[in-house]
Amino acid sequence: MTETQTKTSSPEIRAAAGAMDGLREDLFRHVFAYRPLPPLSPEGRFIRRLPEGLRRPVVWTPHALVLFAAFIVLMSGFATWNFRLLMGLVPAIPVAMTLVRPVAAFWGSWVATLFCALLGTDGLWGASAFIAQVVVLVVVAARTRPRTAAWMWLLTLLFGVFLEGGDPSITAPMAVLSAFALLVVTVFQVRRDAEREVRDAEREVTVQRTVTAAERDRRTLLEERTTIARELHDVVAHHMSVVAIQAEAAPYRVE
């Protein structure tokens, strides 16, 4: 085996290649893919306990929360003296985009952060950019997978440190807050996926039991039909034997 083959097949190289493939798959492929946020299921654990009239509006709660967060970002931009409307509107756009194009919203939040840093007076992480970045990270992480959340957090940290000339102290508050929020979202996702797997397993067991019961009923029916057919065959054979005997004895009776 050559040295090149050894390096290629080493676990470190395979792990790095897998990580890069995951990064490309999560954040670079289909960036502008249209993925609308679905409403909550009306048969959810809490929603199904509500009155019938409240279920329809409640299923749109995630959409309302995202739009409310976008409104908060918009209002926070007015705290900046210069370019008030733009300082709130530009960061609010990526927040609203998380409802339909989550990956594009993540990259858009970077553009909004740069825009606010250039035109604002609060540095890289002004109020509107700070809130928008955290909200986008949380919403996109909730809509994707834990691996995507880790990549977004790491890239955002490197992005902030790079723009601040290698000083991590400025990006540290945003990194700590977003890390805590992403951790909560990840734990919720893992628990939700585990519950979904349990429900799927229970559903599969129920289906198997139903199939088994149906097969048992079918087998019982076939056995009953076989028994009835055997009994009919015996009865018919007996009568045919009687008819044959009587037919053979008929000439002697005539004489």
Q: Tell me, letter by letter, the H, E, C secondary structure of the chain.
A: CCHHHHHHCCHHHHHHHHHHHHHHHHHCCCCCCCCCCCCCCCCCCCHHHCCHHHHHHHCCHHHHHHHHHHHHHHHHHCCCCCCHHHHHHHHHHHHHHCCCCHHHHHHHHHHHHHHHHHHCCCCCCCHHHHHHHHHHHHHHHHHCCHHHHHHHHHHHHHHHHHHCCCCCCCCHHHHHHHHHHHHHHHHHHHHHHHHHHHHHHHHHHHHHHHHHHHHHHHHHHHHHHHHHHHHHHHHHHHHHHHHHHHHHHHHHHHC
Residue 252's pLDDT is 65
pLDDT higher than threshold 90 for residue 1: no
pLDDT higher than threshold 70 for residue 139: yes
Averaged over 232-244, what is the pLDDT?
76
Question: pLDDT class for 253, splitting at 50, 70, 90?
Answer: low
| 158-199 per-position pLDDT tens digit | 888 888 776 677 778 888 888 888 888 888 877 877 777 787
Residue 94's pLDDT is 94
Residue 10's pLDDT is 78
Averaged over 65-82, what is the pLDDT?
81
Averaged over 80-94, what is the pLDDT?
78
